[in-house]
Amino acid sequence: MLAMLLAIPLAAPVQAREQVVLVLGDSLSAAHGLRPEQGWVALADARSPRYRFVNASVSGETSAGGRQRIDAELARARPDIVVIELGANDGLRGLPLAQLGANLGWMIGRAQAAGARVLLLGLQLPPNFGAYAREFQRSYVLIGQRLGTGVVPHFLAPLGTERRWFQDDNLHPTAAAQPLLAEEVLRALDALPPPRRR
């Protein structure tokens, strides 16, 4: 009997399945002005064995564009987590915050209905936008609280206002800044609460 037991191969340790992370963003996540492999999404994908990133970001994208695309991207990627980094282009155009909130809320709802957790990356406008800029950034936190998502209140906060972290347009981070953004998102993903059991 002992010989028979010894002949049975031991089962390999169970490895945690990679979680698929769909990133729906604009030029900040589409590696604008850089090679794709230099962007924070590609760096996060290379650095973490826990997550496999699918980058569906498009330079110039607005929240309305993301709303139009999300169902197709969800069907294509079948993600466990959706990272939404949208709204900067809405804000720079001064679009109504109610419209931004409705579009983000729609995307969050569609992702959650598909069984995915959501991480919302908040953005900040230049201070010359005044009260609109303050309400713009605050809206991300409020939406996340109301709809039960993870939230990074200000995605570019690790870069501060240091000019060296930005390209010549003073809007898009340099290649040297991308690892800081990748680490920030990975920490936020690790901090997400576990998925709810259905």
Question: Hey, which residues are catalytic here?
Answer: 27, 169, 172
* Distance (Å, whole) CA 136 – CA 94: 10
The DSSP call for residue 119 is E
Nearest to 57 by CA among 86, 31, 25: 25
Nearest to 91 by CA among 180, 171, 174: 171
* Distance (Å, whole) CA 111 – CA 117: 7
Helix, coil or strand: residue 142: helix
Q: Are 149 and 188 within 8 A, CB to CB?
A: no
Q: What separation in angstroms does the CA of 73 have from each of 21, 76, 111, 136?
A: 11, 5, 10, 26
Q: Enter the tokens of residue 7.
A: 């002949």
Nearest to 89 by CA among 23, 160, 166, 29: 29
Q: How many CA atoms lie within 13 A of 168 on its CB side?
A: 2
